[in-house]
A and B are shown apart, each in its own frame.
Chain A
Amino acid sequence: MAGTGLSGAAALAGVGATPLSRDSGVSTTALACRAILAALDDAGLGVGDVDGIATHRVGDSSPPWVVGPALGITDPAWHLDQFGGGGVSHAVIGQAALAVAAGVADVVVCYRAINARSEFRMGGQGRAPAGAFDLQYQAPYGLLAPVQHYAVPARAHMQAYGTTHEHLGAIAVRQRAHAAANPRALKRDPITLDDYLASPWISEPFRLLDCCLETDGACALVATSAERARDLRRPPVDIAAAAWAGGHSTYSPPAPGGLGDDLTTSSAARLAPRLYAMAGLGPDDVDVAELYDCFTWTVVVQLEDYGFCRKGEGGPFAASEALGIGGELPVNTHGGFLSEGYVHGINHVAEAVGQLRGDAGPRQVDGAEVALSTGQPGHILAGTSALLLTAGR
């Protein structure tokens, strides 16, 4: 089935990253520049080829109008400095693809650079991020950190569908096992379900081992036309679809009579049909999925909302062997945010590109042709974004 819309117009031609750490010791500007230069080198391009630069941030990172000039990119034809967290992580790349498809830019570098452990801890500021004004209804009650905001729908899902702590724990255990095969991962020592169950509570139903790793680091991707990507150094990875969804969140309650007052369904449920339709693909075509895992439970809800299992069956499915490297749907093959590290979404795209290039070494999914990579599925600051990527020919 042929794709529509953006399908196949743009490709990812380069990937770069800094090492991940708990204290980078450098600025987010420095991290961004290092990742971008690495991505351009990977693509066989230089800063002189770049005419677009894009990022997202929540007041915690260096913007394109600092990072661009720092690399001598002083006159980009297109740029994007998007407010937002993980929900827009994939939107940034989708928007770069739009710019390329429209002919506004030819080579766009997309980056995310954070010192999320040493400089700006999410939820650790004691106040809402600027612009999140509906947090006025939560902050006065001590509901301040993302772990608390996701704990509420996770608890609701557990009660509604019988999702268990053991289901969540199986996700943490498996992703750690995947990270053992990933030299970039911050956490590579295996853990057991007993280790998980013994880890301290943070905000119920989440324990420490349900949570992503606060991480310092940066990652960058080079987007260009599918045509140009075929002349570059590395095997191209095509953007088969990019999709966006607005929607409800725990920050901003739903409009009266509107969608989204069910905590157990995420904005991904509305994005997924658009994404698959644009690519002309369906859930059964996906060979590997990198699902936004700020907390274990977001994997559960996305398995349902992206159509890999029925609503309510995400817990048992997530705990099954299906999600292993040799399983029917390998998920978070790099270890995810839980064990590789948290670069707020873009590192999932980097892993998806690696899998489709056949570069993933001991964690390579055999014959991976189609990868799904997703942003935060809503619930916080509303909205989500995702990409379907295919191995270029």
Chain B
Amino acid sequence: MNATQSLRQDVPEQGGRRPGGHGAAAPRPRPGADRDSAYWWEAVGEGRFLVQYCADCRTPRFPAREVCAVCLSLEWEWREGTGTGTVDGWTVTRRTFHPAFEAPYTVLRVALDDGPALYCWGCLVGADPDGLRRGRPVEAVFTDVGPDPADGGPTGGGAFTRVVDWRLRE
């Protein structure tokens, strides 16, 4: 299976709601992208899950930074990431902290398969969290959150209309 193609497809609803998906009670907080990370979020908007690599020592890094923390090189490249990982931690939130996220919902910390010490976050979709374990394989899916009517605001990022969520992988 071509991982990139798979990532471009929307995940079918399987009982689990899409927290903060398009049409939720309130706009989901947008990524407050900075000048290092904007390219990554733009790629997410195109349905691509990228990983930044040092062009000299080849160490992958996430989140985006200008400098390699291993060799201090300022040269880097973006590669298509695997879009897969394993659950490193999670919490099931059972009260509402923001109107876009109706409780309960599950947020995962995912250890990416692309290298050590690379962690990404996102909601668990398409499954309920019962029986979730560390080490459980997951894969990225993209959730369309629509344009932000506030187009910015305190978190900025009004231009970003997609975020990364995760579903269980067999």
Contact = CB atoms under 8 A, between A and B. Distances in A.
B91 A203 contact: yes
Contacts of B115: 256
Interface residues of A, number: 42
B163 A140 contact: yes
Given A142-B101, A253-B117, A257-B69, A203 B94 contact: yes
A152 B94 contact: no
B29 A127 contact: yes
A325 interface: no
Contact of B32 (A139, A144, A201, A254): A139
Interface residues of B, number: 51
Given A142-B105, A255-B69, A257-B117, A136 B34 contact: yes
Contact of B119 (A143, A145, A160, A261): A261
A160 B134 contact: yes
A26 to B, nearest CB: 27
Which of B37, B93, B107, B116 has the most C-beta atoms of chain A within 10 angstroms of its own C-beta?
A: B93
A106 B153 CA distance: 44
Contacts of A327: none
A127 B97 contact: no
Contacts of B85: none
B89 interface: yes
Interface of A: 123-124, 126-128, 133-145, 148, 151-153, 155-156, 159-160, 200-205, 250, 252-258, 261, 263
A136 B31 CA distance: 5
Given A138-B121, A141-B20, A143-B93, 20 more contacts: A124-B97, A139-B29, A139-B31, A140-B28, A141-B122, A142-B19, A142-B105, A145-B97, A148-B93, A152-B107, A155-B90, A160-B134, A202-B95, A255-B61, A255-B69, A256-B59, A256-B68, A257-B116, A258-B69, A263-B89
A151 B62 CA distance: 22
B120 interface: yes
A138 B29 CA distance: 10
B16 to A, nearest CB: 14
A166 B101 CA distance: 29
B117 A126 contact: no
Contacts of B95: 200-203
Interface of B: 19-20, 28-34, 37, 59-63, 68-70, 88-95, 97-98, 100-101, 105, 107, 109, 115-123, 133-134, 145, 153-155, 157, 163, 165
Contacts of B97: 123-124, 126, 142, 144-145, 148
A302 B115 CA distance: 29
Contacts, number: 142
B21 to A, nearest CB: 12
Contacts of A133: 32, 34
A258 B69 CA distance: 8
Contacts of B92: 201, 203-204
B129 to A, nearest CB: 8
B138 to A, nearest CB: 13
Please list the 5 inter-chain residue pairs (A to B) with the smallest Cβ-Cβ separation, ordered nearest first: A142-B101, A151-B91, A255-B69, A201-B94, A152-B89
B76 to A, nearest CB: 12
Contact of B121 (A123, A143, A145): A143
Nearest to A255: B69
B26 to A, nearest CB: 9
A134 B32 CA distance: 8
Contacts of A139: 29, 31-32, 155
A92 to B, nearest CB: 26
Nearest to B65: A255
10 contacts: A127-B155, A137-B31, A143-B93, A144-B98, A145-B97, A152-B109, A159-B134, A204-B94, A256-B117, A257-B116
A212 B129 CA distance: 26
A136 B118 contact: no
A141 B123 contact: yes
Contact of B134 (A145, A148, A156, A256): A156
